[in-house]
Amino acid sequence: MAQHSVHVREAAKYLSKLRLSWSDPDWPTNFLVVHKEDPTLVGLIREVVQYLLEDTPAGQTTIVWLPETLTEIHGDRIMHGCPETVDLVVTVGGDGTVLGAAWLFQEVVPPIVSFHSGTVGFLNTYSLVQHPQVLQQIVTEGCRVNIRMRLSCEVRREKGPVTYHVLNELVVDRGTSPMTTLDVFVDGTRMTTVQADGLIVATPTGSTAYSMAAGGSVIHPGVPAILITPICPHTLSFRPLLLPDSVELVIRVNEGSRGNAWASFDGRARMELNRGDEIAVSSSNFPVPTVCREDQTRDWFNGLARCLHWNDRPSANHLGVEPL
């Protein structure tokens, strides 16, 4: 047992320092560019595409894939849609753009490097103006990647099962009903019955999103955990819970609930859940590798300081002058 425990800890340390690299002749040749819906970005995206086509070591073999809606950019080696094989995903936008890119791959996810066009988030640490240097370094020298946990969410209802893999969170809420009642099971054992506006089941990556706004804890992305955060519970003693990622969590709409519930997966695929319907949640076998700027921990703490102004306070006013 002790030996297995050591192996598990060593594997965790290895994942936190994982590097991604390519070598000749296996340079990446299929790039997917995902961007937020903003007409003002077309010119900048064109520059990124031009760089990928002309200045990467892959040379004339490079193919760049763009969303079908981006018809303004076209060329011999520019395709529209989402291919089955992608070597590197390049996102331009905010954290939501990264979520959208990960959502495209419901199984194996290619590495994602993200650029922001103004507003910095937790997942996009590079400025778009840095794209030539960043992409050149990634392709020729390699980079560190953050292996971000996803949740596998299997919806079980009369219409038949369907599974989604989410990077941020599953949300089960009351919809238009005044309240919802949810039964929660952990590894087959009933944990509790929740009367609330809803329940958030988040990953460590998602802990700084909706879950945090609802009072949930902030979790380092390297912690293998599942976070349960209630939305306006009817008992003040129901505080957010942190469970190991090895458990299976089942959320079932109570037969006596006042109304049906609604579920959304990273804000997508919103669906109605009838009484008796349930969602089984577990750690997904298909995580999301995102390119680090420095390393997993420094990027995370920089994100806390930059996005949340974590533990930041105004300087002391030694003159005793009231601010205007």
Residue boundaries of the structural domains of the chain: 18-141, 150-286
CATH no. for 150-286: 2.60.200.30
Residue 60 has pLDDT above 70, yes or no: no
Residue 320 has pLDDT above 80, yes or no: no
Are 278 and 257 in contact by the 8 Å Cβ rule? The answer is: no
What is the pTM assigned to this prediction? 0.88
Report the pLDDT value the prediction gives residue 118, as an integer from 0 to 100: 72
Tokens of 73: 């950019």
Residues near 83 by beta carbon (within 8 Å), at least 6 away in sequence: 30, 32, 65
Banded pLDDT at 10 (limits 50, 70, 90): low
How does pLDDT run across 182-237, given as a tens digit for each residue? 999 999 999 999 999 999 999 999 999 999 999 999 999 999 999 999 999 999 89
Report the pLDDT value the prediction gives residue 4, as an integer from 0 to 100: 44
Check if 245 is active-site.
no
How does pLDDT run across 231-286, given as a tens digit for each residue? 999 998 999 999 999 999 999 999 999 899 999 999 999 999 999 999 999 999 99
Q: Is residue 27 classed exposed, middle or buried when 0-12, 13-18 and 19+ CB atoms within 10 A define those classes?
A: middle
Three-state DSSP class for residue 101: helix
Compute CA distances 297 → 9, 17, 32, whole Å.
Answer: 17, 10, 27
| Structural element, H or E, at residue 306 | helix 296-308
Edge-to-edge strand ranges of the sheet holding 225-231: 241-244, 225-231, 198-202, 169-173, 261-265, 268-273
Measured between alpha carbons, how far is 47 from 125 in angstroms, rounded to an integer? 19
Within 10 Å of residue 246's Cβ, how many Cβ atoms?
11
Tokens of 222: 């390297």
Residue 316 has pLDDT above 70, yes or no: no
Are 317 and 210 in contact by the 8 Å Cβ rule? The answer is: no
Banded pLDDT at 6 (limits 50, 70, 90): very low
How does pLDDT run across 150-163, given as a tens digit for each residue? 999 999 999 899 99
Percent of the chain having pLDDT more than 90? 54
Measured between alpha carbons, how far is 259 from 253 in angstroms, rounded to an integer? 9
The residues facing 288 across adjacent strands are 148
Residue 167 has pLDDT above 80, yes or no: yes
DSSP secondary structure code for residue 142 in this structure: -
Ranges 18-27, 91-100, 269-278, 287-296: which has the least confidence: 18-27
Catalytic residue of the set 95, 183, 197, 299: 95
Query: Residues of 282-315 as b/e, b for ≥16 C-beta within 10 angstroms?
Result: bbbeebbbbbbbeebeebbeebbeeeeeeeeeee
CATH no. for 18-141: 3.40.50.10330
Q: Is residue 94 classed exposed, middle or buried when 0-12, 13-18 and 19+ CB atoms within 10 A define those classes?
A: buried
Q: Phi, psi at residue 100, to the nearest 5°? A: -65, -40
Report the pLDDT value the prediction gives residue 101, as an integer from 0 to 100: 92
Better pLDDT: 10 or 274: 274
Tell me if 18-141 shares its fold with 150-286: no
Banded pLDDT at 71 (limits 50, 70, 90): low
Three-state DSSP class for residue 81: coil
DSSP secondary structure code for residue 180 in this structure: E
